Structure 1
Amino acid sequence: MIRLFKHYVPHAALLLGLVDFVLLMAAAELGWLIRARQIGYPPGSLSERLPQVLSFAIPLQIALLAVGGYAAASFLSLRFAAARLMVAVSMGVIFLSLIFFFFPSLSYWRSSLFFSMILAVVMLVSERALMGRILGGDRFKRRVILMGAGERAAAIMTLAGQPGTNFLVAGAIAMNAAETAVAGAIPRADIPNLRQFVLDREASEVVLALQERRNALPYQDLLRVRTTGVQVCELSSFLERQTGRIDLASVSHSWLIFSEGFASGRMWSAMFKRAFDISVSLILLVFALPVILITAIAIRLESRGPAFYRQRRIGLFNEPFDILKLRSMRQDAEVAGHAVWAEKDDPRITRIGRFIRKVRIDELPQIWSVLMGEMSFVGPRPERPQFVEQLERDIPFYAERHMVKPGITGWAQLNYPYGASIDDARHKLEYDLYYAKNYSPFLDALILLQTLRVILWPTGAR
């Protein structure tokens, strides 16, 4: 993993992205040269058409990022990679059409563009087939030693066994006789030299996965391991880096206090975020109003009751506010105003409601809340006061999610399906805390782009 603007990016995904960009540039150039040769046009030099080449490569790469073309599944399934690639190319054609319409000087010949698209698809599919074989094996995975053999260490073993992980467990050390959750763990007493043990296993990292750390850490041995260049990492930091979430089962108050993140010097980032919210919400409202109007008419035609409804939510610093949504349930969905968790295949949802929830049209009126400053485009989803009171009692650190402005989309919405229970709320909080801890404009841009993937491949919409 490499930390890019506070966000952890897998080395394999970054490498794939760089190779993609080179191949897209090559496809654009080759498409031009093929067509120029066909008509006897002097090819000239690459520097003369560099803007056109970049105008081809950059939108296609953004489209690949938006549809999830750099997910771990891209290395595991050629069918998955090819499907996402075809959708990205289709989106890229739309992007390029808009770019060429507004900036005619950047336009390609349509025949050259056709050749470039064909070449790009062939080259990128072939690259993923090759990269999947090279990077998908154990040879390029980081080797990790677990200091501990209890339930926490067993959780890392389970994580290492999941498809697409970029590390493997090279050994586990049982620090006492009570740690028996990891089969094959070596007792600490059987390791005379911890430093040599780590080097013999060719490990690049030692993860402290002890159930109880008090008076259990061999600090002198760990210091010698660290001075050999091997990284020593706490369990919470390791899981944050590997999973993109804050693991509530292992995190402590002291770790949250002393670890990097939750930067207070966010003035410029906050100003940029607010300026972005205002400008984009004004533009989107122009295009969203006709969609909202048509949907409202369809809702009224299908079922009795108003097309819109207001609902009280908890926002920044626990301040309540009202959001406006298009109604997707029957008018009598909540008797006497009592809040009820949504269910899978909830019978209260209308036919129109099921569709607008899947494509997120019911959220469009919230653009007004963004313009008013009560919400942002990116942030934790705001919850209802009744649920917040219960969740703050039952889930540790739940109140910390209200230290950032709520959003229409967020890191949790990208990484976890629709949640409708306390257990779901706990898992989503882990992603919300990661966002609050590692916020940056880069992470916001990544979330906004990949929200398109959630719309195209909806999971768990209720």
Structure 2
Amino acid sequence: MKKLLNNSVVCHSIGILGSLLLIDLLTGWRDQLPFTVINSFWLISAAYLGASITIPKITNYLLVDRKFYILPVLASTYGIIIGSIFLLRIDYSREVLIYGFALHLAWMYTSTAVRAEQHKLRFSVIDNFDYSAINPRLARLTITPLVELNLSKVQDGLVVDLHKDLTAEQEKFVADCSINNIPVFHSESIIEMVEGKVQTKHLSENAIGTLIPNPLYHTLKRIWESILIILSLPITLPVMLMTAILIKLESPGPAMFIQERVGQGGKSFRIYKFRSMTVKKDDSSDKFATQEQARVTKVGKVIRKVRIDELPQFFNVLKGEMSLIGPRPEQESFVKQFEQEIPFYGYRHMVKPGITGWAQTVQGYADDTDSTRNKLAHDLYYIKHLSFWLDMNIVLKTIRTILTGFGAK
């Protein structure tokens, strides 16, 4: 049975067909199904199929445990289906939708647990580097040093530091792996894959072209983000109006906080935020948010925790100054400081800054040079691997961030 489930087609066919059979039994076996039930069967099958395709794509960029993505992805695909029902006025059965979601959720968790070993990558290592730096506890990954150079001992791939010396025998073995279609990974690439950040100390060895985003996706990203913001305005505008009123009632000063930030190409723009602190004196110097905690208002604490203070940046996105997802924009004074202290810092300006981003959801808040250096490594990873599926991964991580308050200052 386990061997059968390891085949994705078989596994998901059981998930779809098995759930339809069970739903029919639970709702009363009938020879002639009502039109609403037939429609609902098609709809829930589409939702399951969408989730089963999406989960591997989203979890491809960081070797994480897939089970953490099952609920949000399945809920999202069902949400799209429900939205389609109301938009297109499709006749449906509420009972079938509820049963379908519950059964699909249970099956996805069960099959993922059974297939966990199949999803694990097994890499063999030529130990010409410190492979303890690859922490398998962070990933679905096992690392095994090669005792003998035998092709049959290598399973999913070979890891080696290609920048360090190899013996003649080891060089021949690496070549043999490539000839026999066994993937050979540079050690730094695997560390990058596991940790979700670019190793900036080796950035000079990378082709700069790897950090240039795909221009086609860059255009599509602008389109889908703008559409998403416009569709959400009926919900977000009342929230913004209520937030502005509460800020004005609590403390004197404007409801909005407008500040110069550095954007794509190093160009400055004015970022919009809801004011979460008391008004700063004109002669005050720029500080990190952790140094300004005493000025945070009661309303400010709440809107920061759930990221409502960032909602006005939707208008920055519509103006083309920002994206929904990208490296967070920094103040010009800090940019000048970090460009002096951190090599390659300016590369983060190759894309538009974002309201949320990879570094924000993985690392959290940065409040000094060392944490900013680490944040840069995450930002460059995002730029290097920029794609729709990585953006969707960040969307799901951002939902977790909003619910937990991770990284809020």
Matches within 5 A, 1:19-418: 22=13, 24-26=15-17, 28-34=19-25, 37-38=28-29, 41-42=32-33, 51-58=42-49, 74=65, 81=67, 94-105=79-90, 107-132=91-116, 134-135=117-118, 140-149=120-129, 153=130, 156-171=131-146, 196-197=148-149, 199=151, 202=154, 204-208=157-161, 213=164, 216-218=165-167, 221-228=170-177, 229=180, 230-249=182-201, 251-257=202-208, 261-263=210-212, 266-332=214-280, 336-343=283-290, 346-418=293-365
TM-score normalised by the chain length of structure 1: 0.73
Q: Residue type of the partner of 2:45?
A: L
User: Matches of 1:17 and 1:433 in 2, distance apart?
Assistant: 33
Structure 1 stretch displaced more, 160-169 or 285-294: 160-169
- Structure 2: gaps spanning 5 or more residues: 1-5
Distance change >3 Å, CA 443–CA 89, structure 1 → 2: closer
Where 2:377 maps in the other structure, the secondary structure is helix
Q: 2:394 aligns with which of 412, 424, 447?
A: 447
Q: Measure how far apart 1:101 and its partner are.
A: 1.5
Q: Is the 8 A contact 1:378 1:406 kept in 2?
A: yes
Alignment RMSD (CA, Å): 3.8
**SS across alignment from 1:142:** strand
Change (3 A) 1:263 1:342: closer
Q: Shift of residue 165 of structure 1?
A: 3.8
> Residue 226 of structure 1 aligns to which amino acid in structure 2?
A
Match of 1:438 in 2: 385
C-alpha offsets along residues 58-114 of structure 1, whole Å, 9 cap, x if unaligned? 566699799989986647xxxxx5x87566666666554333212333x53222223
- Secondary structure (helix, strand or coil) at the match of 1:311 reads strand
For 1:18 and 1:248, the matched residues in 2 are separated by: 40
Deviations 1:109-145 (A, max 9, x none): 222223323322332333244334x458xxx542331
Call closer, same or farther: CA 1:62–1:205 in 2, change over 3 Å.
closer
- C-alpha displacement of 1:390: 1.1
Alignment partners' CA distance in 1, 2:274 and 2:57? 26
Q: Report the Cα offset of residue 205 of structure 1.
A: 0.6
The separation in 2 between residues aligned to 1:232 and 1:220, in whole angstroms, is 16
Q: Matched residues in 2 for 1:352 and 1:74: separation?
A: 36
Q: Deviation of residue 207 (structure 1)?
A: 1.5
Structure 1 counterpart SS, 2:134: helix
Partner SS, residue 295 of structure 2: coil
* Residue 38 to residue 356, structure 1, CA distance change in 2 (3 Å): same
Confirm or deny: 8 A CA contact 2:262 2:268 kept in the other structure: yes
Residue 373 (structure 2) pairs with residue 426 (structure 1)? yes
Cα distance in 2, alignment partners of residues 17 and 450 from structure 1 = 26
Q: In structure 1, how many angstroms separate the alpha carbons of the residues matched to 2:81 and 2:55?
A: 14
SS in 2 for 1:414: helix
The letter of the residue matching 1:290 is: P
Q: Contact conserved, 2:360 with 2:407, CA < 8 A, in 1?
A: no
Give TM-score, length-normalised by structure 2. Answer: 0.82
Question: Against the structure 1 CA distance between its residues 461 and 241, is the aligned structure 2 distance closer, same or farther, given a 3 Å change threshold?
Answer: same
Cα distance, 1:36 vs structure 2: 6.0
In structure 1, what is the Cα distance between the partners aligned to 2:13 and 2:199? 37
Structure-2 change in CA distance of 1:32 and 1:420 (3 Å) = same
- Counterpart CA distance in 2 for 1:310 and 1:64 is 38
CA contact (8 A) 1:28 1:53 kept: no
The CA distance in 2 between the partners of 1:39 and 1:47, in whole Å, is: 12
Shift in CA distance, 74/314, structure 1 to aligned 2, threshold 3 Å: same
Structure 1 stretches lacking a partner, 5+ long: 1-14, 76-80, 173-195
Identify which range, 295-304 or 65-74, moves more after superposition: 65-74
Query: What is the aligned partner in structure 1 of residue 3 from structure 2?
Result: none
Contact 1:313 / 1:383 at 8 angstroms: preserved in 2? yes
Tell me, in whole angstroms, the C-alpha distance in 2 between the residues paired with 1:338 and 1:450. 33
